[in-house]
Amino acid sequence: MQVAPDTRKTGPGPGCAVLNQMKSSGFSDIVERELPAVAADMQELHAQRLNRYVTAMRNGRPDRVPIRPFAAEFTARHCGMTAQQVTHDYRQAFEAVIRCCRDYDWDAAVPNMVYVWTGLVQAAGLRYYAIPGIDVDEHTGFQYREPDMEHAWMRREEYDEFIEDPVAFLWTKWLPRISAEYEKSPMRRDLALFKDIYNQAWDDNWGFVPLSDAELDALIRDLGQYLEPRLAFFAEVRGEPAAFLLAFPDLNQPLHAAYPRPGKPTLLTLAQVFWHWKIRSKITRVRIALMGVREHFRGIGVEAAMFAHFFEQTPALSAETGWTYADAGWVLETNESMNRIVRAYGGDDYKHYRWYERALR
């Protein structure tokens, strides 16, 4: 593609036209400072630039090659700032980009290509970024840290595993390697993997609503204190997470023993629940709250293996905990394979639920 002769107009820096798209982004003070007066032809200039950019993106022939640089620390150098300044302060980074748009007549630019803002990197505990002014010289752009091959963030032999299930690989292997904060929270990592399998495994069930990220946070916050690690596990097939089983000691038993009722102080009820749960436990039952198997791993024995492991695990804990039996939870009567497995381990149907529907007028 040939570059057409420069036909730009005089007046306010044409790079400022980019700002027309950014007035709602919370930088109105910068916008006003950069635009002392809004030129009458600003909308025309914006339309010209937008058409040029869209035409090129659609593999057409614009009036000239649109300029949209991958600009990061260069903007700092042009404006007399350090790499540290634009990495630490997004407002300075934005101002530097706008000044370059004006001075170099760029057609488009992102607000800040320095996406390695110091606060984000430190909050996540990222190991693979070296931050200007902290890990490297203040004038040096951020650097990628690469460990030796043996401790690489991702290894050559893992590419097939990553392609097969990117979500599982990122959650269980890549993120714990590159994030110190993520490594500190194995419960969050495991529950995030649980969410991924759960949403896939239960997708076809009647009335199912997928877990959202907010609901996962609530699950960690509310159920984390009750989680018994020895009753929660994943099954893998050839190294790929295929299923999960999540069981809890049945807290309905200490709650029933505490006998909450109107007029009884809540604090007293909570103290009694804690007593019957942790001090003189009245829990004799374990409830399998959730279980799920990815669709492409069903019918090959994963479900049976999960139950076998569960029933091997719980008797060993009986002397320590007092748990003597388990509730398999809600199993659809149409789920014949699961019902056969439960009965094979001596389970009986002792409770049935029926759902009814009626139109509201």
Q: What is the CATH number of the domain that holds 280?
A: 3.40.630.30
Between CA 55 and CA 61 the distance in angstroms is 6
Q: What angle do CA 112, 117, 119 make, to 5 degrees?
A: 145
For 233, the 3-state DSSP assignment is: strand
Domain contains 315: yes
Q: What are phi and psi of 308, to 5 degrees?
A: -60, -45
| Distant-in-sequence, close-in-space partners of 29: CB < 8 Å, separation ≥ 6 | none
Residue 205 shares a structural domain with residue 336? yes
Residue 239 — left, alpha, or beta (φ > 0 → left; ψ -120 to 50 → alpha)?
left
Local structure of residue 5 (DSSP, 8 states): P
Between CA 164 and CA 125 the distance in angstroms is 27
Domain contains 150: no
Residue 325 tokens, joined:
């039996």
Domain contains 245: yes
pTM: 0.48
Residue 224 shares a structural domain with residue 324? yes
Residue 37 shares a structural domain with residue 119? yes
Estimate the crossing angle of helix 336-344 against helix 302-321, to 10 degrees.
40
For 327, the 3-state DSSP assignment is: strand
Domain contains 9: no
Element (H, E) at 289: strand 285-293
Residue 203 shares a structural domain with residue 336? yes
Residue 208 shares a structural domain with residue 315? yes
Give the domain-ending residue among 124, 150, 179. 124
Domain contains 146: no
Domain contains 324: yes
The span from the first CA to the last CA of the chain, in angstroms, equals 65
Per-residue pLDDT tens over the stretch 198-244: 888 777 776 777 777 777 777 767 776 777 878 888 888 877 788 98
Local structure of residue 234 (DSSP, 8 states): E
Between CA 219 and CA 117 the distance in angstroms is 30
Structural domain span for residue 64: 14-124
* CA distance readout (Å), 93 to 25, 56, 218, 272: 15, 27, 35, 57
Domain contains 98: yes
Residue 206 shares a structural domain with residue 340? yes
Residue 236 shares a structural domain with residue 115? no
Residue 220 shares a structural domain with residue 101? no
Please, what's the b/e burial string for 295-320 (b: 16 or more CB within 10 A of its CB; e: otherwise)? eebeeeebbeebbeebeeebeeeeee
Residue 198 shares a structural domain with residue 340? yes
Per-residue pLDDT tens over the stretch 130-185: 888 888 999 988 888 888 888 888 988 999 989 988 877 887 788 888 888 776 66
Domain contains 18: yes
Residue 119 shares a structural domain with residue 201? no
Residue 8 has pLDDT above 60, yes or no: no
Residue 240 shares a structural domain with residue 108? no
Per-residue pLDDT tens over the stretch 74-105: 899 999 999 999 888 888 888 899 899 889 98
Task: Centre a 10 Å sphere on the Cβ of residue 235 and count the other Cβ atoms it contains.
Answer: 19
Between CA 340 and CA 82 the distance in angstroms is 68
Residue 118 shares a structural domain with residue 200? no
- Say if residue 284 is exposed, middle or buried (CB neighbours under 10 Å; 0-12, 13-18, 19+): middle
Which of 19-33, 60-74, 111-125, 300-314 is most confident? 60-74
Number of domains in the chain: 2
